[in-house]
Structure 1
């Protein structure tokens, strides 16, 4: 996606929106396009005819001010829009764009509840440019104007406190929401731009085995945003060591909720790693539907007795695991960790979907030995064939 900072001309909007429309229509699910007409689908244009000069002048006369350039040129290309982002389904037209205080006084009162003085001031002067959305509202601020005449833009949503991120202009807000759409679509396995995903996974794996966990996580995340199930899975598995206390949320949101991840990685590996990691931190109760096809009904009913399959480990590392367990049973946890730490450089896997010995976090005996500091050590120590 090529973004244009600050202002955006009508011609730039026309090219930009044509590309964006094509992306949305190509990857969005049908139930996400309920308001899109057959004509719009055929023309691959989620907008409408542009507002005339007379319509724009009438709007500015009604508001008592000139519109910011990037928003004015947008309306000149399309008077309204559908599916401008994942959570914003319609934008207002020149006929119903208005100050928030006049367009929806009840909404203004809701937004003022618990607002800071700065947010109260913004609510009194903001221009409401959005229509239907998922409990979010797009606001332009005439009290925060750039040298080129652009007004700062915000999203005010019910599902996070206060104002969202400040954007330099309406065009910058659309850019951010388009990037979010691409990320969300990729995470769902409907990539807008899949090119390069496999290379990112390969680079991430090499970085991970060299011990550069942070750079590896970034590569895997970028691959996941391009639709790679392997990238999504490996990002979570690295974060099992980088942020073990919250990894169950990532497993739920980024693995279990996305069948393409499970299909690409393989059910056995998900059962061996992701499932026990999740169950160690969370109850299965509210999430039974996510486990359908992963666990049997019998396993879900007797979840405390679930025994994950074992993944193959190198012989030397497997022997270190056995010695570590025995030392733990003998009451020597520091000795057990010393044995495991010494064996880490020899750990490797032939699977392209493994970059760390997650058995250290899934084994009922060994996982209590792995503090957050030790977990970080595991993934920052070079391992396997990429070790120097």
Structure 2
């Protein structure tokens, strides 16, 4: 289990911000993001303890540890992944209270014999703390009833256009790490007018893919597959195709695509 209170939020968010700034075309009209691009910082000034305490008094609950530590570094965040344009800080977070009407929608599709867990999932839209402020119809809710032994609340994300159930993240830290990987994955294959997306993170992951290929050939396919799956989550080229080749050799056929295999000279 990750010690969320010991995580170095500032270094992580500075790296993310710098990579985001470098990924933008020079001639792009950045609009509201101009200041963030110039500062190379997607965040805001940090929230004071008094400001966090006032938020908790307003909401009637103490915030989970990883979200509290995040707020001490930045009171909100721009571009959390590709579809949440503004993530709430101390003022923007609010109880969702079925504002979207999704509790009714999810309950409508419950079977008559649905169990307590399924009904609890549908009720998320009444009890969840909403963190998305501006997004592409993407909801981000922290669940005050899905709490681990460290006091961390699970985070759920859902968008109707994905046609899939809400995605659960163990805590706010894991959610932000997933959004960082999503940012990488979306930038990994730039369009014609975008700069090549290359930085210390991508170079390290590409080296990891090459080493994983060699490890697989040496017979250490378990270790290779773990490394390839990590690189695939960041959208690194060849990681998915190489991983699928290993899975096919293991007899797995479901959702195996061999991405890039026919153009691989080796």
What is the TM-score of this pair, normalised by structure 1?
0.52
Distance 1:177 1:137 in 2: 13
Q: Which residue of 2 aligns with 1:366?
A: none
Q: Which residue of 1 aligns with 2:34?
A: 38
Distance 1:149 1:241 in 2: 41
**1:104-119 paired onto structure 2 within 5 Å:** 104-110=99-105, 112-114=107-109, 116-119=118-121
Q: 2:16 aligns with which of 20, 26, 37?
A: 20
Q: Residue 75 and residue 245 in structure 1: after superposition, are their counterparts in 2 closer, same or farther (change >3 A)?
A: closer
Q: 2:72 aligns with which of 72, 76, 96?
A: 76
Residue 176 of structure 1 aligns to a residue whose secondary structure is helix
Distance 1:110 1:47 in 2: 34
Alpha-carbon distance, 1:214 to partner: 7.5
Distance 1:223 1:127 in 2: 31
Q: Which residue of 2 aligns with 1:130?
A: 132
Question: Which structure features the higher share of strand residues?
Answer: 2
Distance 1:71 1:106 in 2: 26
Q: Residue 183 and residue 105 in structure 1: after superposition, are their counterparts in 2 closer, same or farther (change >3 A)?
A: closer
Alpha-carbon distance, 1:95 to partner: 2.3
Kept in 2: contact 1:84–1:174 (CA 8 A): yes
Alpha-carbon distance, 1:83 to partner: 0.9
Can you give the 5+ residue segments of structure 1 that lack an aligned partner in the other structure? 256-269, 275-352, 356-388
Residue 144 of structure 2 aligns to a residue whose secondary structure is strand
Distance 2:235 2:37 in 1: 24
Alpha-carbon distance, 1:240 to partner: 11
Greater radius of gyration (CA): 1
Q: Residue 200 and residue 135 in structure 1: after superposition, are their counterparts in 2 closer, same or farther (change >3 A)?
A: same
Superposed CA offset, 1:174-233 (max 9, x none): 12222333344345562442136256336526745x78878766666666667764x258
Structure 2 residue 202 is matched with structure 1 residue 193: yes
Kept in 2: contact 1:112–1:119 (CA 8 A): no
Structure 2 residue 84 is matched with structure 1 residue 88: yes
Alpha-carbon distance, 1:88 to partner: 2.0
Q: Which residue of 1 aligns with 2:193?
A: none
Kept in 2: contact 1:194–1:227 (CA 8 A): no
Distance 1:73 1:148 in 2: 14
Q: Residue 150 and residue 114 in structure 1: after superposition, are their counterparts in 2 closer, same or farther (change >3 A)?
A: same
Alpha-carbon distance, 1:170 to partner: 1.1
Kept in 1: contact 2:66–2:172 (CA 8 A): yes
Can you give the 5+ residue segments of structure 2 that lack an aligned partner in the other structure? 111-117, 191-195
Q: Which residue of 2 aligns with 1:324?
A: none
Distance 1:173 1:94 in 2: 18
Kept in 1: contact 2:102–2:125 (CA 8 A): no
Q: Residue 77 and residue 111 in structure 1: after superposition, are their counterparts in 2 closer, same or farther (change >3 A)?
A: farther
Q: Which residue of 2 aligns with 1:235?
A: 242
